[in-house]
Amino acid sequence: MENIIELKTINELCQYSFMIPSYQRGYRWTSQEVEDLLNDINEFKPRQIGDTDDKTWYCLQPIVVKNSEKEQYEVIDGQQRLSTIYLILFYLNQDFIEARRDKLFELDYETRKNTKLFLDNLEEVSKPTDENIDFYYLSKAYETIGAWFGRKGNNFNKDDFRSKFKFNTKVIWYECFEEDTISVFTRLNIGKISLTNAELIKALFLNSSNYEIKEAKKLREKQFEIGTEWDNIENSLQNDKLWYFITGNQISNNRIEFIFDLMNHEKKPGDNYSTFRYFSRIVSSKSQENIESNWRDIKQYFQRFTEWYNDRELYHKIGYLICINAVNINDLFIKSTEITKSKFKEYLDDLIKDNLKTACFSDLQYTDKHVKKVLLLYNILTMLQNEQDSSYFPFDLYKNEKWDIEHITSIKETIPESESSRLDWLSDVKPYIDDTQSEAKSLHERIDSCTIDDEQEFVKLFEDIVSHFNRDIDDDEINGISNLTLLDSKTNRSYKNAVFPVKRKTIIERDKGGIFIPICTKNVFLKYFSEYPPKISFWTQDDRDKYEIDLRRVLEKYLGGM
């Protein structure tokens, strides 16, 4: 069953019984937090919605609960808010004789049993008590409530406040159906439930009190319009190709929150609700114009992202910069609003050049920190330079499949360790050794007679076979850029230790199976750069020279030392 998210008035809460589980900390709200809530309620002015009996409402943050077998709701998150609501209701009830007092919701405690008794007898508390830490904070908050009302004087309309609080103040009710409530509590309190900020912000934008619309029908139409646009944005961001293009590698269930976080200029470390608090402040004027203006700003972010996504050049260059963590997408968004589209494209080129300014093509080696970025850029630019190609580089696959640098022809250091892997390696490589030549015939004979568990014999045979396929490349060239390409980790693992022809066979099989192979990696192993007829089983000096010429041609605009 899916979790339920709805709005409930404070008065509706009074029909329930709540239990605070043992894993919850005690009540800790400060006097300032209590006063802030009282001030917010007091300043809120409910308005009639058209010719209906409905009024606008004020929204509080979520209360996360689970219905237990004892007809109680276990409070997973929000017990501080719930306790403060109880204290305010209890205080307001003291204006009436006991027979006329409103029924309040019950607060029970799984382990701190004396706390319920303390709350039931709050009217006897004259000042904060230090009997225990819970009693102290609860009685301090109750004293703060009394002092706040006391300062309002005789002309203060307490009935009006009572009505606003009970009937025009709502909480976001999040009813959870997961079995492990402690796990839910833990996720909530380390900020891993991504719905929270987004749902709170959604409530702000759909809150009827924010709209200066008298007709109920028009109000519902406006709320429906924003709700529909919200869902369209969220659904579009669920497309991994768009999502990984703008985020690089961030994971989120509720992806519209990414835009809210970008707009939040007041982030506070450790505050899980920082983004909600930011939006709560910027729409606090309760003005329809303000709400609609901020909603347009949100849509502008999304529209700009989709504009970039649909422009093939922008998609690839921005996606590259985001992927290598060379730029903040919010900075790009702001820059794109300040200059023309053509200037913006020049700006992206400058960012790429600046990021690679210390990379010298002639010196690029396997261990160089720039190599992976250079090979990624090579693939992206190769796709872009083909005007007949309408495909898009899959940044989602690049991140999720963990692509890395791969040697085109193998290195001698990666010797198979287990007996079975050694047998498989010899079996794979044998068909590609042409036994019509004397050297190759000798290798065939040595493979047939090899004693696998003889370490010295196998290592010598392994090195001789690798040398046979690497005869056109010196050891000091094996880690050079002309022997390197990009490949996903799964393909890489599937042919670990393999010589060139085995790698080539694996690439072809995976390409036939629909696995995405980077275009330049495919070009390398399919011998696109080679003279005809190519030497299929070897990565020759001529192959490397032609490959390096193409690397230089594609990258010359962005790299130095060419």
Predicted pLDDT of residue 530: 79
Q: Which of 8-22, 259-273, 328-342, 403-417 has the highest mean pLDDT?
A: 328-342
Report the alpha-carbon distance of residue 62 to residue 35 in Å, rounded: 19
Tokens describing residue 184: 């839910």
E strand or H helix at 553, and its extent?
A: helix 541-555
Report the alpha-carbon distance of residue 405 to residue 483 in Å, rounded: 10
E strand or H helix at 92, and its extent?
A: helix 79-93
pTM, 2 dp: 0.67
The residue assigned the tokens 């109880």 is 86
Flag whether pLDDT at 475 surpasses 90: no
Flag whether pLDDT at 420 surpasses 90: no
Percent of the chain whose pLDDT exceeds 90: 37
The answer to whether 205 and 224 have CB atoms below 8 angstroms apart is no
Flag whether pLDDT at 462 surpasses 80: yes
3-state DSSP helix/strand/coil % of the chain, to nearest 5: 55, 10, 35
Alpha carbons within 13 angstroms on the beta-carbon side of residue 341 total 6
Percent of the chain whose pLDDT exceeds 70: 87
Tokens describing residue 422: 């050694």
Flag whether pLDDT at 252 surpasses 90: no
Q: How confident is the model at residue 194 (pLDDT cuts 50, 70, 90)?
A: very low
Give 103-137 pLDDT, tens digit per residue.
999 998 887 778 888 888 888 876 776 677 788 88
Flag whether pLDDT at 91 surpasses 60: yes
Q: How confident is the model at residue 195 (pLDDT cuts 50, 70, 90)?
A: very low
DSSP string, 153-169: -TT--HHHHHHHHHHSE
Predicted pLDDT of residue 86: 96
- Burial state string for 172-200 with b = 16 or more CB within 10 A and e = fewer than 16: bbbbbeeeebeebbebbeeeebbbbbbbb
**In the sheet where 17-20 sits, what is the strand order?**
4-9, 169-175, 58-67, 73-77, 17-20, 106-109
Predicted pLDDT of residue 41: 92
Q: How confident is the model at residue 335 (pLDDT cuts 50, 70, 90)?
A: very high
Q: Which of 199-208, 440-449, 537-546 has the highest mean pLDDT?
A: 537-546
Mean pLDDT of 74-78: 88
E strand or H helix at 65, and its extent?
A: strand 58-67
Q: How confident is the model at residue 521 (pLDDT cuts 50, 70, 90)?
A: very high
DSSP string, 104-141: --EEEESS-HHHHHHHHTGGG--S---SSHHHHHHHHH
Q: How confident is the model at residue 342 (pLDDT cuts 50, 70, 90)?
A: very high
Predicted pLDDT of residue 1: 46
The answer to whether 183 and 12 have CB atoms below 8 angstroms apart is no
The torsion angle over the Cα atoms of residues 92, 93, 97 and 101, rounded to 10 degrees, is: 140
Tokens describing residue 328: 């903040």
Mean pLDDT of 179-189: 60
Flag whether pLDDT at 515 surpasses 70: yes
The answer to whether 12 and 169 have CB atoms below 8 angstroms apart is no
The answer to whether 180 and 60 have CB atoms below 8 angstroms apart is no
Report the candidate in 128, 119, 123 with the shortest Cα–Cα distance to residue 96: 123
Q: How confident is the model at residue 175 (pLDDT cuts 50, 70, 90)?
A: confident
The answer to whether 176 and 64 have CB atoms below 8 angstroms apart is yes
Report the alpha-carbon distance of residue 205 to residue 279 in Å, rounded: 9
Sign of CA pseudo-dihedral 518, 348, 550, 473: negative
Q: How confident is the model at residue 548 (pLDDT cuts 50, 70, 90)?
A: very high
Predicted pLDDT of residue 417: 81
Q: How confident is the model at residue 53 (pLDDT cuts 50, 70, 90)?
A: low
Alpha carbons within 13 angstroms on the beta-carbon side of residue 127 total 0
Predicted pLDDT of residue 190: 47
Mean pLDDT of 168-173: 87
Report the alpha-carbon distance of residue 544 to residue 472 in Å, rounded: 10
Mean pLDDT of the chain: 84
Q: What are phi and psi of 530, to 5 degrees?
A: -90, 155
